[in-house]
Structure 1
Amino acid sequence: MYPEVIIHNTVSLDHAVRGFEIDLGLHYGALLALEPGAVLAGSATARSGIELFTDVNETETEADRHRPEVRPDDPRPVCVIVDSKGILKDLLHFYRNMEHTKDVIVLVSEATPEDYLDYLREREYPFIRRGKDRVDLKGAIRELGERFGISRVVSDTGPDLNDVLIREGIADTISLIVHPVVVGEGEKKLFGRAGGRTALELRKAVPLEQGTVHLVYAVKK
């Protein structure tokens, strides 16, 4: 079983992902309405989330070193983080303790440092090792479905990982919360390095608060 993959993001009218005030309530309300089995993020986005919203100096407790019980009837998604370089070593407990996720799974590659793999094993973080120099994202997502029974993956991450999802033909759907603002030059744009032309089919356009719009497109393959 290969999971359905949905790219979800909040952007300005000119597709900037920063440089304007994001309505987190709208963003995560729309994300959870997609009913993800897993929420996918890159390690840089995950680390910046820790730095923005938590005390990065908060050390892990003994309980943080053990995988919590995962109940089959728990409706919360798992948090899946792509971290081939191991930059979240000693930081993953922040995600383990998040109330809206039930587990943390890490995607790594053959090039991932061995001490990071030891850190994952010692703390009982499930991980998927695919790819030589970087994570084979298509293969890793397939394994998410096969090993963990995940049928829908929704990305909540920055442009780099989303570009890969488009460039490698992984994404099935694009969900965008568009804010009525033009950021202009100097900010990174979504899909700036997504490769060649990708045809889309509009599935939904819903006006939201204060001029924002929720757009949902199917990716034509």
Structure 2
Amino acid sequence: MYPEVIIHNSVSLDHAVTGFEVDLGLHYGALLALEPGAVLAGSTTAKTGIELFMDISEPETEADRHRPEMQPDDRRPLCVIVDSRGVLKDLLHFYRKMEHTKDVVVLVSEATPEDYLDYLREREYPFIQCGAERVDLRGALRELGERFGITRVVSDSGPDLNNVLIRERIADTISLIVHPVIVGEGEKKLFDRAGGRAALELRKAVPMEHGTVHLVYAVKK
């Protein structure tokens, strides 16, 4: 089973993802309205989130070292993180504690350091190993669907991961919260290295609070 893949992001009018204040309420409200079975992020975005919004000195507890018991009626999404290089070693407990996700799954490759794989095994983090030097996202997402019954994945990440999802023709839909601001040069832009032309079909354009607009496009394949 291969899941539907949706890219979700908040951008300025000139498609910057940094350099302006994101309305987090609108961002995550729209994300959860998509009813994802899994929320996908890259390791850089995940680590930045810890550094910006969490107390980095908070220690791992004994409870953090064990996988939480899964309840059949728990409709919260999985937190799925692409981390081939082991960037989040000793930091994943921050995501295990998240209230809006029920479990953490890590996507790794054959090149992932063995000590990071040991860290994942010792703490009962499920992981999917797919790809040689880097994670084979298409293959890993297929296995995610097969192993965990995931039918919809929403990417909540930065340009690097989203560029791959477009460049490799993995994404089915793009969901953007467009903020009424032009950031200009010097900030990260969404899809700055997405490869060749990708044709889109507008599915929805909804005005939201504070002059923002929610745009939803289908990716033509």
Q: TM-score range by the shorter chain?
A: over 0.9
Q: 1-side partners of 2:115 and 2:210: how far apart? A: 48
Corresponding residue number in structure 1 for 2:51: 51
Secondary structure of 2:161 counterpart? helix
Per-residue CA shift, 1:90-149, capped at 9, x if unaligned?
Answer: 000000000000000000000000000000000000000000000000000000000000
Question: Which residue of 2 is the match for residue 153 of structure 1?
Answer: 153
Q: Cα deviation per residue 1:26-49 (whole Å; 9 max; x = unaligned)?
A: 000000000000000000000000
| Runs of 4+ that moved beyond 2 A | none
Aligned-pair distance for 1:57? 1.2
Whole-angstrom distance in 1 between the partners of 2:29 and 2:195: 30
Task: Provide the C-alpha distance between the structure 1 equivalents of 2:100 and 2:9, rounded to a whole number of angstroms.
Answer: 18
Structure 2: any 5+ residue segments left out of the alignment? none
Aligned to 1:108: 108
1:202 aligned residue: 202
**Equivalence map 1:131-142=2 (5 Å):** 131-142=131-142
For 1:55 and 1:212, the matched residues in 2 are separated by 31
How big is the shift at 1:215?
0.1
1:15 pairs with 2:15:
yes
Residues 169-219 of structure 1: CA distance to partner in whole angstroms, max 9, x if unpaired? Answer: 000000000001100000010000000000000000000011100000000
Q: Partners of 1:208 and 1:165 in 2: how far apart?
A: 27
- Name the SS for the 2:6 alignment partner: strand
Letter in 2 for 1:76: R
Q: Which residue is 2:71 aligned to?
A: 71
Q: Report the number of matched residues.
A: 221
Cα separation, 2, equivalents of 1:72 and 1:191: 37
Give 2:112's aligned amino acid: T
Once the two structures are superposed, residues 36-67 of structure 1 have per-residue CA deviations (whole angstroms, 9 ceiling, x without a partner) of 00000000000000001111111100000000
TM-score, normalised by the number of residues in structure 1: 1.00
Report the secondary structure of 2:119's partner residue. helix
Deviations 1:149-172 (A, max 9, x none): 000000000000000000000000
User: 1:210 and 1:132 mapped to 2: Cα distance?
Assistant: 45
Q: Tell me, in whole angstroms, the C-alpha distance in 1 between the residues paired with 2:209 and 2:145.
A: 35
Q: Which residue of 2 aligns with 1:89?
A: 89
2:43 aligned with 1:32, yes or no? no
Partner of 2:190: 190
Question: Paired residue for 2:3?
Answer: 3
Aligned letter for 1:14?
D
Gap regions ≥5 residues in structure 1: none
Normalised to the residue count of structure 2, the TM-score between the two structures is 1.00
Letter in 2 for 1:117: L
Distance between the aligned counterparts of 1:68 and 1:184, measured in 2? 44
Letter in 1 for 2:22: I
